[in-house]
Amino acid sequence: MIPDKNKGWKDVPKAGRILDPGSAIEYETGGWRTYKPVHTKENCINCLFCWIYCPDCAIEVKDGKMVGIDYAHCKGCGICVKECPTKPEKRALVMVKEDEETGKE
Amino acid sequence: MTKMIGMTGNEAVAEAMRQINPDVVAAYPITPQTEIVQIYSSFVSNGQVDTEMVTVESEHSAMSATVGASSAGARAMTATSANGLALMWEIVYICASMRLPVVMPVVNRALSGPINIHNDHSDTMGARDSGWIQIFSENAQEAYDNTVMATRISENKNVLLPTMVMMDGFIISHAMEAMTTLPDDVVKKFVGNYKPENPLLDIANPVTIGPLDLFDWYFEHKRQQAQVMIDAKSTILKVSREFGKISGRNYGLFEEYMLDDAEIAIIVIGSTAGTAKKVIKDLRANGIKAGMLKIRVFRPFPATEIVKAIKGAKAIAVMDKSDSYDAVGGPVYKDVRSAMYGKRGGKIVNYIYGLGGRDVTEQNIHSVFEDLKTIADTGKVANQVTYLGVRE
């Protein structure tokens, strides 16, 4: 669990230690993105290269199929897009500027 | 029954380490510390200790391996001098801020350049803000005693900070002195078994040690570190009292020598205290009320305690075996003067001395007391900072 930010120095674990395992999921890093990967299901061959290469476990897979991206944790590094082997005319993953798709910030 | 034996400072510290029997020692040789780990490696080879000895490729790696071992839950030690300590620098700070109770004997040697292998305090004085407890030793006996005590102090639940144990290079590290050691079982019982707080090797309770700590948390963790150093004084005194019971040798945060009624006094660290005691005895024989305060624990700095001890003296000389090169004076001087600010007390002057192993003679110490006598008599300070023993 991420400690409560209202807690003072006397009440937090010493030396910045994180005493609960697996708590990184609570720490959302999606806001770091400038570009984001966008998945097109029809073009995807489900090779799962993106899943293997993603350094943040942000590729969502269900029943052996790539189903989407966890945008709460994807930092927009672009590795999945770089590794995606789909043909240029039928890309399954492309990088899009963060506000282009929606037209909003 | 303990008996007197002849030992060099390095042999005494290696012997203390053998009796402590740490789980891991990672070290790299550097003069004048080399002998400590050289002797220790023979203990390892001969099966006299259970230690995993890691011979690393640099001091940066020595401290890194020690921090790694300590994080894993081991009782871990290393030792170094001067440029070796400088090369460790990054990890020295990390060790303290990760609150790892590492004990590191440091044999004081002048920091380059120009390159020099002899004694002064410029190496560990540079590390005075690193968050380590720093304990200085006057002689081989104290180096042995302080190493044994450091283990207990660092590993205390209320402390969990690393400790440097210092002795003067060559003067103490390589000179043979009469001293006594404690029986193995007594030391073993005194230091006890180390129970790490959040060891990485406790796989049933996984933890992350040393994660990124940005503006939301770093300040809180540094505040914890500051407080634990403030509180460490009481643990140091408690452990020292317990050590007195097993050894008959009693230690405080500093030693007072003929200080009670002293009108002129010097504050020293390390082996120079031995020379100063002889000079003070001579001065006392001539009716001059001279005294000395020898700092043992430099970090945490015993500010209020020192002020109380020296308040009766009319003139005080703070002896610094290193310089800050800041146009103000040496580090010990500034801490003492800062502690005295706003308190009633005598004039305080600074002597930078013994750099690069320049011999400190009785005559040098005499000249300091002569200056102090003049200051006490006239109330006037001619030189705030004096370079003692340098050719003009």
Query: Is the reported ipTM for this assembly greater than 0.90?
Result: no
Q: Total structural domains in chain A? A: 1
CA angle B93, B340, B282 (to 5 degrees): 100
Give a yes or no: residue A39 inside a domain.
yes
Residue A1 has pLDDT above 90, yes or no: no
pLDDT range class, residue A105, cuts 50, 70, 90: very low
Q: Which residues of A fall within a CB distance of 8 Å from B205?
A: 19
Give yes or no for a contact between A87 and A45, defined as CB atoms under 8 angstroms apart.
no
Within an 8 Å CB–CB cutoff, is residue B211 touching chain A?
A: yes
Helices B59-72 and B82-97: angle between axes, nearest 10 degrees: 30
Q: In this predicted structure, what is the pLDDT of residue B261?
A: 97
* B319, two tokens: 């002896």
Q: What are the DSSP calls for B123-178, one per residue?
A: HHHHTTTSS-EEEE-SSHHHHHHHHHHHHHHHHSTTT---EEEEEETTTTTSSEEE
Give a yes or no: residue A80 inside a domain.
yes
B246-283: pLDDT as tens digits: 999 999 999 999 999 999 999 999 999 999 999 999 99
Q: In this predicted structure, what is the pLDDT of residue B336?
A: 98
Give a yes or no: residue A10 inside a domain.
no
**Cβ within 8 Å, pair A17-B209:** yes
Domain architecture of chain B: domains with CATH: 5-247 (3.40.50.970), 254-388 (3.40.50.920)
Q: In this predicted structure, what is the pLDDT of residue A102?
A: 58
Q: Which residues of B fall within a CB distance of 8 Å from A31?
A: none
Distances (CA, A) of B164 to B79, B131, B326: 9, 10, 25
Q: Which residues of A fall within a CB distance of 8 Å from B216?
A: 5
**Cβ within 8 Å, pair B224-A19:** no
Within an 8 Å CB–CB cutoff, is residue A8 touching chain B?
A: yes
Give a yes or no: residue A37 inside a domain.
yes
Q: Which residues of B fall within a CB distance of 8 Å from A15?
A: 97-99, 209-210, 221, 224-225
Give a yes or no: residue A6 inside a domain.
no
The CATH number of whichever domain residue A67 belongs to comes to 3.30.70.20
Give the number of A-B residue pairs with CB atoms closer than 8 Å: 47
Give a yes or no: residue A91 inside a domain.
yes
Residue B188's closest CA among B22, B33, B315? B22
Of A5-9, A11-15, B155-159, the range with the highest mean pLDDT is: B155-159
Closest-CA residue of A relative to B225 is A15
Buried/exposed code over B327-363 (b: 16+ C-beta within 10 A; e: otherwise): eebbbbbbbbbebbeeeebbbbbbbbbbbbbbebeee
What are the 10-residue block averages of pLDDT along chain B, 392 residues in total?
A: 88 98 98 98 98 98 98 98 98 98 98 97 98 98 98 98 98 97 97 96 94 92 97 98 98 98 98 98 98 98 97 97 97 98 93 97 98 97 97 96
Q: Which residues of B fall within a CB distance of 8 Å from A12?
A: 217, 220-221, 224
Give a yes or no: residue A61 inside a domain.
yes
pLDDT range class, residue A24, cuts 50, 70, 90: confident
| Containing structural domain, residue A83 | 29-97
Residue B222: phi and psi, rounded to 5, are -70, -35
Closest-CA residue of A relative to B98 is A15
Residue A32 has pLDDT above 80, yes or no: yes
